[in-house]
């Protein structure tokens, strides 16, 4: 039997937001194993280090997979995506590979879906204004994901490159049918925003605490190393509730939180919950409309596994329907 190779466009079409969000929620509720990922810095000439990631996971039924991915920050200047890789899904019964999937698309989709799952629990139900910080692959996916769980009427997009922000706004407006505008700066974009979602691998804060209004939900997914941060330590410190994807990942890799702990504005003991708690079907984990909630994600291998399994189920269903 020929091994299916599922490319980036297929990954996107096989993972509609409602199904993907529910698949990730189901995966965390049912449980599985996803060791803290291995990552290695690969040095090179005339470029930043390329990070090689290895992320295995297996579920309660014994089905398992692994992602091999690279993060190449210097690619942005070359016009290439920074994330590339492959995901291999194996049969839990035989260990035979079932499919190979494009890991760049898979990662972007599952990252955005995890953020949407968190927003479904933490943002106000009447959230209508969304600020997206960043213009990369994940940032583009975050727009559709957030719009799938809240009645968003306006999306503001800020990026270091204004032309890229214009492209993202045009693309999202046509794809989703929501008003999309370019923010001149983060402070302006944050004014009155109900949800602020950032996907920038930044080494310095982009979001300041005094720009965040009461009732805002903050979604931080771009920083994946202790030295990185997208929000200043006071943003974390003033949030009423901080949720993470996994406690282990947050304590070892979430630069926004680690730096806040070092500055004395936050404690890991103050983490209100993780993806498991958000997968339990509670309609809202927000106590009042005025609370500031924050979700910090560094990525979890169980999310990749859930997304890959959904892709293969959807592909098999399509093939059976066509035959």
CATH label of the domain that carries residue 98: 3.30.1780.10
Same domain, 140 and 286: yes
Same domain, 86 and 138: no
Handedness of CA 64, 252, 119, 152 (dihedral sign): negative
- Give residue 214's domain range: 109-301
Same domain, 166 and 231: yes
Q: What is the pLDDT of residue 323?
A: 38
Same domain, 79 and 197: no
Total domain count, the chain: 2
Same domain, 9 and 140: no
Pairing of strands 97-102, 64-71: unpaired
Same domain, 98 and 83: yes
- Average confidence (pLDDT) over 106-124: 97
| CATH, residue 266 | 3.40.50.720
Same domain, 123 and 205: yes
Q: Report the percent of the chain where pLDDT is more than 70.
A: 98
Please name the residue ranges forming H helices in the chain. Answer: 8-14, 17-30, 75-78, 103-122, 137-147, 162-176, 186-190, 233-238, 247-253, 255-263, 275-278, 301-322
Residue 253, classified by CB atoms within 10 Å of its CB into exposed (0-12), middle (13-18) or buried (19+), is buried
Q: Cα(134)–Cα(76) distance, rounded to whole angstroms?
A: 12
Q: Does residue 188 register a pLDDT over 90?
A: yes
- 36 three-state secondary structure: coil
pLDDT tens-digit readout, 204-238: 999 999 999 999 999 999 998 999 999 999 999 99
Q: What is the pLDDT of residue 36?
A: 78
Same domain, 142 and 281: yes
Mean pLDDT of the chain: 94
Note whether 117 and 142 are within 8 A (CB).
no
Q: Does residue 139 register a pLDDT over 50?
A: yes
């Amino acid at each position: 039997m020929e091994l299916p190779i599922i490319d980036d466009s297929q990954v996107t079409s096989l993972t509609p937001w409602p199904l993907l969000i529910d698949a990730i929620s189901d995966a965390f509720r049912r449980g599985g194993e996803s060791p803290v990922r291995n990552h290695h810095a690969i040095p090179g000439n005339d470029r930043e280090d390329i990070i090689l990631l290895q992320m295995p996971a297996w579920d309660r039924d014994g089905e398992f997979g692994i992602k091999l991915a690279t993060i190449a920050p210097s690619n942005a200047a070359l016009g290439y995506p920074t994330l590339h890789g492959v995901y291999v899904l194996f049969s839990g019964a035989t260990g035979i590979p079932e499919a190979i999937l494009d890991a760049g698309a898979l990662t972007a989709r599952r990252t955005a879906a995890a953020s949407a799952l968190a927003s479904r629990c933490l943002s106000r139900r009447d959230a209508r204004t969304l600020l997206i910080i960043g213009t990369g692959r994940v940032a583009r996916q975050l727009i559709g994901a957030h719009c799938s769980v809240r009645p968003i009427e306006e999306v503001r997009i800020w990026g270091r490159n204004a032309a890229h922000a214009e492209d993202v706004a045009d693309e999202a407006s046509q794809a989703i049918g929501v008003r999309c505008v370019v923010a001149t700066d983060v402070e302006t974009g944050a004014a009155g925003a109900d949800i602020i979602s950032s996907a920038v691998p930044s080494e310095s804060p982009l979001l300041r605490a005094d720009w965040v209004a009461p009732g805002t939900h903050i979604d931080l997914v771009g920083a994946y190393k202790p030295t990185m941060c997208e929000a200043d330590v006071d943003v974390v410190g003033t949030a009423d509730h901080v949720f993470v994807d996994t406690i282990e990942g947050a304590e070892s890799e979430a630069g926004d939180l680690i730096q806040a702990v070092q500055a004395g504005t936050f404690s890991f003991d103050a983490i209100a919950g993780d993806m498991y708690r958000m997968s339990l079907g509670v309609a809202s984990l927000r106590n009042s409309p005025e609370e500031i909630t924050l979700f910090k994600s560094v990525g979890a291998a169980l999310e990749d596994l859930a997304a890959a399994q959904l892709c293969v189920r959807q592909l098999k269903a399509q093939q059976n329907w066509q035959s």
